Amino acid sequence: MQLVLEVFDSAGAESVPTVCKTFEGAGGVIGRGAGCDWVIPDPSRLLSSHHGLVSFREGRYFLTDISSNGICVIGSQERLRKGQARLISEGDVFQLGELIIRARLIGTLVQHNPHRVAAAEPIPDDAFLALDPVHALDEEHLAQSSSDELEALKAITDELGQWMDHRAAEREFLPVPRCVEPVREVPEPQPVTTALAVNEAFWAQFAAALGIPVDGLDTPSREALAIKVASLLRHGIAGLQQCLRTCDELKTESSLGSAESPFNSPNPLRNCVDAQAALTALLGTNELGQLPAELAITQVHRDLQTHQVALLTACRSALRSVRAAFAPGHLQLCFELQDKPPRFNTDGANWRAYQRHYQYLIADEQLNERLLGNDFVKAYEEQVRLISTLHAVYTG
C-alpha cells in the first residue's frame, strides 16, 4: 500500500495539489528542516523543522505530531496529541502550520491469516514446533501487555532512528580536535571596594583640611565643591598679590620702610608676576631656599597686618604733633620769635600775628614735611620694629 500526501492551497474539494509525497511501505519525517524525508518550504516559518512523523506498521500508516505548533484534522475539532500516533485514513485532511495536506491510500491491504494454509503448499518439517504450549503462553502474555500508546512510542523511536543523519550527530557531538592556545593567566581585577575605600579616605582628608563635612554630599557634589575651592584659592592668591602691590606703593609714596621679615627666603607671592605663577610655585616642588606655601602665606598676612597697625600708630603721632604745633603757648612763642612783641596785647594783634605765622608755614613746605613727616615716619618704623620682634620671637 502507498500513502500519497498532497499539499493544497485550501481545504476545498476542487483544490489542485501543489506538492505531493509518496510513501511506499515505510515512514518518514515531514518538516522544513534539511534532514527531513519530505522537506516542505514554508516562508511563514509556522511549519517546524521536524513537524510530523509518518510511520508504517502492520500494513497501515500512522501520523504522529512531533512539532511545537501542533497538527489539526480539517473538518473536525480533533487535534493530534503530541507523541501519540493516529491512524491515517483515505481522504483525511491535516493542517500543519498554514499548509493543508490531504492523504490518499493507493493499493489493497492484503490480510494474512496465520491459520490459513494453502492446500497446494507442502507442510514444512518444523511447522509443528510453533505449537509449543509454553511458547504460545509467552506470545499471549506479550500481546496482552502491549497497548497502542506503547506501540506508538516504539514506532517513534524506530522511525527516528531510521531518518536521523549519523554524520550530523557526529558533527554535533564529536568535536574535531583543534589546536588550542595556552590559557593565559589574567590578573584578577581589584575589587571595587578598594577603590571606594581610597576615594572615601581622600574625601575624609579633604574635609578635614577644609574644615567642612562632606559626608552628606554625593560624588558629583563633592567634585563641584573641590572645583569651587580651587577657584577661591586662585582668587585669594590674586587678591593677596594686589594688596602687596598697593602696600608697597603707599610705603614708597610716604617714604616708609618695609617690615623686617624673620624669614630670609624669597616669597613666591612677592616675586611672582601673577597668580598663576604664584600658584605654580606654591603648589609645586619648593625650589632651593624658597619658603613653603604655608609660611609664605603667613608672612604676607603678617606684613599686611603690621602695615595697618604701624600706619594707625603713625597717624596718631602726626595728629599729636599737629595739635602741639597749634597750641596757644607754642603759637605765642612763635609770635615772639618771628616779630617784635605787640605794644598792646589785644585779640586783634594776636589774630594778625597768627596770620603771619600761617603764611610763614605755607611758604616753607619743606619745614612742614620735616616737622610732621619725621614724626610720622619715626612712629611707623618704631611700630614695625616692635611687631617684627614679636613675630620673630613667636616663630622661633
At residue 176 the predicted structure's pLDDT band, cuts being 50, 70 and 90, is low
Q: Residue 352: in which H helix or E strand, if any?
A: helix 347-363
The domains of the chain are located at 2-106, 318-395
Q: Which of 66-80, 253-267, 302-316 has the lowest mean pLDDT?
A: 253-267
Amino acid at 349: A
2-106: what fold? Tumour Suppressor Smad4 (2.60.200)
Give the per-residue pLDDT at 150: 54
**Block residue for cell numbers 518439517:** 125
Burial of 345 (0-12, 13-18, 19+ CB in 10 A): exposed
Q: Is the pLDDT of residue 1 over 90?
A: no
As a residue count, the chain comes to 396
Do β-strands 28-31 and 38-39 pair in parallel, antiparallel, or remain unpaired?
Answer: parallel
Q: Higher model confidence: residue 52 or residue 335? A: 52
Do β-strands 85-87 and 71-73 pair in parallel, antiparallel, or remain unpaired?
Answer: unpaired
Q: What is the mean pLDDT of residues 309-327?
A: 85
Say if residues 87 and 60 touch (Cβ distance below 8 Å). yes
Contacts of residue 205, Cβ cutoff 8 Å, sequence gap at least 6: none
Q: Which of 15-24, 142-151, 314-323 has the lowest mean pLDDT?
A: 142-151
Report CA torsion sign: 282, 287, 291, 292. positive
Cell of 69: 505548533
pLDDT digits (tens, 9 = 90+) for 229-286: 999 999 999 999 999 999 888 888 877 766 555 555 688 888 888 989 888 888 886 6
Q: What is the mean pLDDT of residues 361-373?
A: 67
Say if residues 104 and 90 touch (Cβ distance below 8 Å). yes
Q: What is the mean pLDDT of residues 312-316?
A: 90
Tell me phi and psi for residue 147, to 5 degrees.
-145, 170
Q: What is the mean pLDDT of residues 341-364?
A: 73
Percentage with pLDDT > 70 across the chain: 68
Q: What is the mean pLDDT of residues 27-45?
A: 87
| Secondary structure (3-state) at 33 | coil
d(CA 255, CA 253): 6
Give the per-residue pLDDT at 329: 80
* pTM of structure: 0.44
Q: Is the pLDDT of residue 10 over 60?
A: no
- The HSE-up count of residue 108 (CA atoms within 13 Å, CB side) is 3
| Secondary structure (3-state) at 29 | strand
Closest CA to 292 of 271, 265, 274, 270: 265
At residue 205 the predicted structure's pLDDT band, cuts being 50, 70 and 90, is very high
Q: What is the DSSP letter of 292?
A: P
pLDDT digits (tens, 9 = 90+) for 330-351: 777 777 776 656 555 677 777 8
d(CA 95, CA 70): 9
> Using DSSP, how many helices (H) and how many strands (E) does the chain show?
12, 10
Say if residues 242 and 304 touch (Cβ distance below 8 Å). no
Q: Higher model confidence: residue 298 or residue 163? A: 298
Q: Please, what is the average pLDDT of the chain? A: 76
Cell of 250: 603707599
